Amino acid sequence: MKNQLRKGKAFFSSFNFNSNNMIMRNKIYLTLMLVLLSASLYAQTDTKSIRIVDTLSAAEKSSRNPVILRSELDSLIKLNLVTLPQQEVKEPEKVETTDSQQYILAGLVAIIVLLIIVIYLLFRHQRKINRTIAGFQEEAKLLSARTDNGLSALAKDKKRKLSPQAMENKINDLNAELLKLSKENEGLSLVIKEYNGIQHEYDSLKHGIQKAYKVKNYPGYDKTKDEKVAMQTVLETENAVVGFAYEKFLKPILTITDANKNNPAKLSEADNEKLLDLLISLSLLYIEYLYLRVNDLAIGGRIAERIKEFSKGKGPDTSLLKKMNTEFGSRALVVRIALNKAGLPRLSYPVFDETNLNNQ
C-alpha cells in the first residue's frame, strides 16, 4: 500500500498545471486512489478461522488479523477467570463409625460362639443317649430272640407231646435265662450311672483345678493340646516343686535339726548359719511358687522357666537374673539389707523379684 501511495505522488508531481485545474485534478486522482486502496485492502482480508501460535513470521506480523499470540490468549483467559465465580468443591462426608457398632458386632460374635458350643454339647449328649438306647435295643433283641427260640422249642415240644415234667423244665430254663438277662441289664445300667458320676466328678475336679491354679501360666502349657494334658502338666509341676523343695531344702533342715535335737543349745555357728540359709531359701522358693497360684501376682520374667527346671533337679541360672539396683532401689534391695543385718551374705536360693540377691 505504501508503494502505491508513492506512485500516486510521483504521478501528480509530473504534471504542471495551473493551481485551480491542478487542485481539481488532484482531488479527482486522490479520490480514485482512495477507491483503489480500499478495494486492495478489502481484497487482502481473509475470512480464515483464528489460529493460535507461539511466534509470528514477518508476513503474519504485516497482516495478522486472523492470528493471535498464545501469550495474549493466556492473558485473556486469566483476566476472565478472575471475574468468574469459583465453585467450591464439596468433600464427601465421611461416615464415622462409632464404638457402639463394634460392641454390637462383638456381642453378635459372642452369641454365635455360645450357640455353637451349646449345639455341640447337646449333640454330644444326644449321641451318648443314642448309644445307650442302641445297647438296650440290642439286649432286647437278644432277649426276644432267646425267648422266641424258647417258645419255638416249647411249641415243638408241644407238637411232640412232651410230658409235664419236660414242660416244667423248659419253663424253668427260660425263667433262669430271663433272670440272667435282667441282671446283665441292671449291670449295664449301673455302669452307665457310674460313668455319668465319674464324668461329673471329673468336670468338678477340672473346675476346681482351674479355679485354684493359673493353668495357662504353668510351664509346658499348650493351648493347642487337650485339657487333660493341661491338667496333667499342673500335677507334674506340683510334683516337681515338691520334690525339689524336699531334696534341696527340707531334707537338709531335718538332718540338722535331728542331729542337734538332743542338745539344741550346742548348735554350732556353721549349722546355725546353714539352717537360716535353708529356711530363707525355702521361703524364697515358695514365694516364686505362689506366682502360679495367686491371681493378684502377675507372672513375669523367667519364673515359669525356673520352675520347669525343678523337674531336672536344677537350681536357678544366676546368669539370667537381674543385678542388684542400688541407685533407684528395689524390693530385692530391702531383702538384701535385712540379710546383711542378719549376717547372711549368701543364700542357696538367692532369687527375689527376678534379682540375684548374692550378686551385690
**Domain containing residue 24:** 1-45
Q: List beta partners, residue 355.
A: 322, 352
Q: Is residue 345 part of a domain?
A: yes
- 42-56, 186-200, 245-259, 311-325: segment of lowest average pLDDT: 42-56
Do 289 and 199 share a structural domain? no
- Taking the C-alpha atoms of residue 177 and residue 169, their distance in angstroms, rounded to an integer, is 12
- Taking the C-alpha atoms of residue 95 and residue 228, their distance in angstroms, rounded to an integer, is 49
Q: Which of 324, 292, 283, 271 is nearest to 212 (CA)?
A: 292
Mean residue pLDDT of the chain comes to 76
Residue 338: pLDDT over 70 = yes
**Nine-digit cell at 358?**
548374692
- 54-58, 248-252, 307-311: segment of lowest average pLDDT: 54-58
Residue 256: pLDDT over 60 = yes
- 10-19, 179-188, 238-247, 319-328: segment of lowest average pLDDT: 10-19
Average pLDDT over residues 278-290: 90
Say how many domains are in the chain.
Answer: 3
Q: Is residue 90 part of a domain?
A: no
Do the bridges between strand 51-53 and strand 351-352 make them parallel or antiparallel, or are there none, so unpaired?
Answer: unpaired
Burial 84-101 (b: 16+ CB within 10 A, else e): eeeeeeeeeeeeeeeeee
Do 250 and 296 share a structural domain? yes
Average pLDDT over residues 50-61: 70
Higher per-residue confidence, 92 vs 336:
336
Do 346 and 316 share a structural domain? yes
Q: Is residue 154 part of a domain?
A: yes
Higher per-residue confidence, 82 vs 329:
329
Do 281 and 253 share a structural domain? yes
Alpha-carbon torsion (202, 204, 207, 209), positive or negative? negative
C-beta neighbour count of 220 within 10 angstroms: 15
Do 239 and 176 share a structural domain? no
Q: The cell 457402639 sits on which residue? A: 100
Q: Is residue 272 part of a domain?
A: yes
Q: Is residue 221 part of a domain?
A: no
Question: Residue 252: its pLDDT value, please?
Answer: 93
Residues 145-191: pLDDT tens digits? 776 666 665 555 555 555 777 777 888 888 888 888 888 888 888 88
Structural domain ending residue among the three candidates 156, 185, 212: 212
Do 321 and 270 share a structural domain? yes
Do 39 and 120 share a structural domain? no
pLDDT over 90 for what percent of the chain? 7
Do 241 and 307 share a structural domain? yes
Q: Is residue 32 part of a domain?
A: yes
**Nine-digit cell at 179?**
433272670
Decide: 356 and 322 in contact? Cβ < 8 Å.
yes
Question: Residue 16: its pLDDT value, please?
Answer: 41
Q: Is residue 28 part of a domain?
A: yes
Residues 212-222: pLDDT tens digits? 777 777 777 77
Do 263 and 325 share a structural domain? yes
C-beta neighbour count of 9 within 10 angstroms: 11
Do 303 and 266 share a structural domain? yes
Higher per-residue confidence, 272 vs 93:
272
Burial class from Cβ neighbours inside 10 Å (0-12, 13-18, 19+) for residue 358 reads middle
Residue 39: pLDDT over 60 = no
Do 231 and 207 share a structural domain? no
Residues 109-148: pLDDT tens digits? 888 888 888 888 888 888 888 888 888 888 878 877 776 6
- 80-84, 115-119, 223-227, 354-358: segment of lowest average pLDDT: 80-84
Do 199 and 266 share a structural domain? no
Q: Is residue 333 part of a domain?
A: yes
